[in-house]
Amino acid sequence: MKKSIFFFFLLLLCFSAFSQKNNVAELLIPEPVSVTSGTGNFMINDKTGIELFSSDSSAKRVGEFLSKRLSFVTGRRIPVKVISMKRGKENNIRLSLIKDTTLGNEGYKLDVSKHEVSISANKPAGLFYGMQTLFQLMPKEIEEVKFTKDIKWDVPVCNITDYPRFGWRGLMLDVSRHFFTKDEVEQFIDQMVKYKYNLLHLHLTDDEGWRIEIKGLPRLTQVGAWRVNKVGYFGTFSPPTPDEPRNYGGFYTQDDIRELVKYAKDRFVNILPEIDVPGHSLAAVVSYPDLSCTPGADKYQVRSGEPIMDWSHGQPPIALEDNTLCPANEKVYVFLDKVMTQVAQLFPFEYIHVGGDECPKNFWEKSDSVKALMQREGLKNMDEVQSYFEKRLEKIVESKGKKFMGWDEILQGGLAPNAAVMSWRGIDGGIAAAKMKHDVVMSPTDFTYLDYMQGDPSIEPHVYATLRLNKAYQFEPVPPGVDPKYILGGQANLWTEQVYNMRHLEYMLWPRAMAIAEAVWTPKDKRDMSSTGWNDFAGRVEQQFKRLDEAQIKYAPSMYDPIFNVSKNDSNHLVINLSTEIKGLDIYYSFDNSFPDNFYPKYTSPLIPPQDAVMLKVITYRGNKPIGRMISMPIEELEKRAEKKK
C-alpha cells in the first residue's frame, strides 16, 4: 500500500512538472530555428544586472539598449558591467561574443535558466536580435510606454538557437506620397527591428514630392517638396487651383539623413535610398522643367492627388501630364550625376534604388529629341529607349561606388549589365532576372503590398486590391526552379497614397509585416503552410497584439472580421457564404437592420436574404465576447459582387 501511495505521488509530481513546462514557441515571431522549452523561470530582481563579456562598442550599445528598457519598465537600476570571461554573478543577464560558424553575422543563442540569462553571438547584430527575442519572452508590459508597478518580471526557461534565412529583410516606406518626419521614421525603425527586419527602403521621390535636400539644386525642396493639402480618396482629387496654398509636405535635410542613417545603424538597420526615375518624376520636373521632353512643362505643378495617368489600358499607363525625365536630354544625366553623388555620400548602404517602374512613354513618342536619340543609338522601341536611360544611369551610380537596383520594369528593352532587380509585378520579373544571373529581391504585390486592403472593402479605406494576413503568410521568396543564391531576400512595401498619418501607417503595417518578417527570417523547412501552420501563426499574432496594445501601436484586427463570398443559385437568388480567417469564431447576423450580438441567429449554413431585406449585419464572437468589427453590408452591394463573378 505504501509503495502504491509513493508511486502515486511520484506520478503526480512528474505530471505537475510536465504540466508546468513552458511553451516558448507560441510567443515568438519570427519563429526561431530551434526552440527547447524548459520548466520554471528566471526572475529579474533587485540584484539583476547585465554582464557584457566584450569590449566591442556595438556590443556595449546593445547592452545599453537592454539596460535602458529593463530599468524603465521595472523601476530598478539594471546597469551594464563589462567583465572578463571568467564566470560572473548569478541572476544576471550575460551578453557575449563567441565564435560559432552556425550562427553567421546575425544569429544568436539565447539560454535561459532559473539562475541566469545568456545571449551569445558572433557579432553584435546577433546580440541585438537575441535581445528582441528576450523581450518577446518577457511579460507584455515590457512594451509599455510608462513605468508599471507590481509586475512579475520573469523569463521562461528555454534554449534557443536562431539565425536568419536571408540577409535582405526589408520594409519599404513611401515618404513621398505623404511625408513622414524624421522622428516618425525613427519610430518606424523601432517597430520594424522588433521583428528582426534589417533594411529600411525609403521611397524618397515621386510625383507628389521630392524629400531629400540636394546641394546646388535648391528648387527640388523649395518647390518640389510642397503641394496643396487634400483629403479623401487620393487619385480622385480635383486639380488644385492657382490660389490654393502649397504648404503641405516637407523634406529631410542632409543632416536629417545623417541622423537617420546613424539611428538605423545603431539598430543594425541599413537604409536603401530610392530616387524614382525616369517616370514618377513630376516633382523634379516641376522644380526644373528643362529636364522634360515636353513643351509647357513649366506649367505643371506637384501632384496633390489629382488624376495624371490613364490606367484603363493597363501598364505602362498613358500619361495625361508628362511626369518623366527626358532620356534624350543631356541635362538629365548631369542632374542625375549631381543627385547620385550626394545620395551616395549620405547613405553608406551598398545599393541605390533608381525606380524605373510605370514609366509612361506616350510623350516620348511625340518627342523629336527622343526620335533623334533612337535613330542615333539604333533603338527600335520605347522599351529600348528606357533601357538606354537605365544603362547610362547604372554607369553614374557605379561611378559613385554603389550598386544599381530598380523595379522589374528595368528588364524591358534589355537589363543593365550589373543591375539588381526588385520584383514587384508578381514573381516573373524576379525569375527572369535570376535566370540571367542577376541578384533579386522578391517583393510581389500579391503577397507583400501592405497598402492593399486587408479586410472587406466595405470597412477598409478603399484601394484597388486586397491582401489578407493569411495570404501574406504564404509568401515564399525563392520561386520554384530558381537558384537561391541569386535571391538576396524579400521585403514588404507600404505605399502611402492613402496613408495620411502615423496611426494609419501602423494599422496597415501590422500584423501583415509580421508574416513577411517570418518569411524572410525563418528557415523554409520550419514554415508550415498548411492550415495547422496558419493556425499556429495566427495564435502567435494574437500574442503580439497584446504587446502592441501595451506599446500603444495601432494594428488591424481584420483577421477577426467575417469574410463574404457570394454567388447566385439556379433560381438566380443571392447565396451568401460567410467564413472567418482564423478558426474558433462564431458569426452572428441580422437582416432586420438591428445590431446582432450572440443572442441573434448564428451562421451555420449559406444564407439567402429575405425578399425585401436591404442590409446584412454580421459580427464575430469568441465564446461570449465580440472580437470582430460589426460589418453592415448592403444587399445591393452583395448583388453587385455576385454579378461580377458570373
Strand-by-strand arrangement of the 93-97 sheet? 34-43, 154-162, 108-112, 117-121, 93-97, 50-53, 80-82
Same domain, 156 and 260: no
Q: How many Å apart are CA 416 and CA 395, to the nearest integer?
A: 9
pLDDT for the residue numbered 256: 98
pLDDT above 70 (res 271): yes
Residue 613 belongs to a domain with what CATH number? 2.60.40
**Confidence category of residue 17, pLDDT binned at 50, 70, 90:** very low
Cell digits of residue 3: 509503495
Same domain, 327 and 379: yes
Predicted confidence (pLDDT) per residue in 282-296, tens digit: 999 999 999 999 999
Contact status, residue 384 vs residue 332, Cβ threshold 8 Å: no
Contact status, residue 102 vs residue 161, Cβ threshold 8 Å: yes
**Confidence category of residue 84, pLDDT binned at 50, 70, 90:** confident
Predicted confidence (pLDDT) per residue in 336-369, tens digit: 999 999 999 999 999 999 999 999 999 999 999 9
Same domain, 125 and 186: no
**Confidence category of residue 316, pLDDT binned at 50, 70, 90:** confident
Same domain, 585 and 613: yes
pLDDT for the residue numbered 274: 98
Torsion of CA 97, 100, 105, 109, to 10 degrees: -70
Same domain, 155 and 42: yes
Same domain, 255 and 153: no
- Which residues are CB-neighbours of 501 under 8 A, at least 6 positions away? 178
Predicted confidence (pLDDT) per residue in 535-590, tens digit: 999 999 999 999 999 999 999 999 999 999 999 999 999 999 999 999 999 999 99
Residue 125 belongs to a domain with what CATH number? 3.30.379.10
pLDDT for the residue numbered 303: 98
Same domain, 316 and 428: yes
Average pLDDT over all residues of the chain? 94
**Confidence category of residue 20, pLDDT binned at 50, 70, 90:** low
Same domain, 573 and 621: yes
Same domain, 567 and 543: no
**What's the farthest any 2 CA atoms get from each other in the chain?**
105
Predicted confidence (pLDDT) per residue in 447-461, tens digit: 999 999 999 999 998
Predicted confidence (pLDDT) per residue in 188-231, tens digit: 999 999 999 999 999 999 999 999 999 999 999 999 999 999 99
Cell digits of residue 118: 545568456
Residue 215 covered by a domain: no
pLDDT above 80 (res 4): no
| 92, 223, 282, 319 from 209: Cα distances, Å | 50, 9, 8, 18
What's phi and psi for 616, nearest 5 deg? -110, 125
pLDDT for the residue numbered 314: 83
Cis peptide, bond prior to residue 278, ω within 30 of zero: yes
Q: How many Å apart are CA 83 and CA 93, to the nearest integer?
A: 12
Residue 529 covered by a domain: yes
Q: How many Å apart are CA 455 and CA 277, to the nearest integer?
A: 33
Residue 484 covered by a domain: no
Same domain, 172 and 158: no
**Confidence category of residue 166, pLDDT binned at 50, 70, 90:** very high
Give the residue from 513, 532, 550 where a domain finishes: 550
Domain that holds residue 153: 19-162
Residue 328 covered by a domain: yes
Percent of the chain at pLDDT > 70 equals: 96
Residue 453 covered by a domain: no
The pTM score is 0.95
Residue 464 covered by a domain: no
For the chain, how many residues are written? 646
pLDDT above 50 (res 633): yes
Contact status, residue 203 vs residue 218, Cβ threshold 8 Å: no
pLDDT above 50 (res 55): yes
Same domain, 88 and 115: yes
Residue 392 belongs to a domain with what CATH number? 3.20.20.80
Residue 357 covered by a domain: yes
pLDDT above 60 (res 417): yes
pLDDT for the residue numbered 6: 45
Domain count, the chain: 3
Residue 344 covered by a domain: yes
Predicted confidence (pLDDT) per residue in 363-408, tens digit: 999 999 999 999 999 999 999 999 999 999 999 999 999 999 999 9
Same domain, 361 and 256: yes
